[in-house]
Amino acid sequence: MASVVEALVPGGKANPGPPLGPALGPLGVNIKDVIEKINEKTKDYNGMQVPVKVIVNDDKSVEIEVGTPPTSALILKELNIEKGSGESGTVVVGNLEIAQVAKIARMKKDDILSYSLKAAIKEVMGTCVPMGVTIEDLDPRECQKAVDEGKFDESLAAEAW
């Protein structure tokens, strides 16, 4: 029976302290090696909290599964800002281009419920609403309608899903 340790770690900067060290210690694995593997797998998410699942098998072999950060964290990173608007609807903290929204949607592909790029993009746009983030200088809800109407079909045609 494998033991599973789940934790939220800073991308590329996990350390042997809590939450990982105390959870992995009793399982008899080399904590330093596990931390190094986690940091290698999460280095692209530097500065973001990343969900990680460490599976320790009976033979002490270790598997590491890395999730993707929350959509809101990816939006903040793409805009290079610290936090969303405390007053969405009145205060706009940033503006994404449709290509940036598509990039975030692709990063979330494994965690998202949508089957098409268009639907995934609309999901990301939905996250922008409470954050005070516009897309192509439009309110995210207006932008979702524009996606439905095919306004961005040409620019999205180049985007792979």
- The low-confidence residues of the chain, meaning pLDDT below 70, are 160
Q: Comparing C-alpha atoms, which of 158, 140, 119, 155 is closest to residue 72?
A: 140
CATH superfamily ID and name for 3-66: Ribosomal protein L11/L12, N-terminal domain (3.30.1550.10)
pLDDT at 96: 95
Tokens coding 35: 């931390």
Q: What are the domain boundaries of the chain?
A: 3-66, 71-157
Question: What is the pLDDT at residue 37?
Answer: 94
Domain 71-157, CATH: 1.10.10.250
pTM above 0.75, yes or no: no
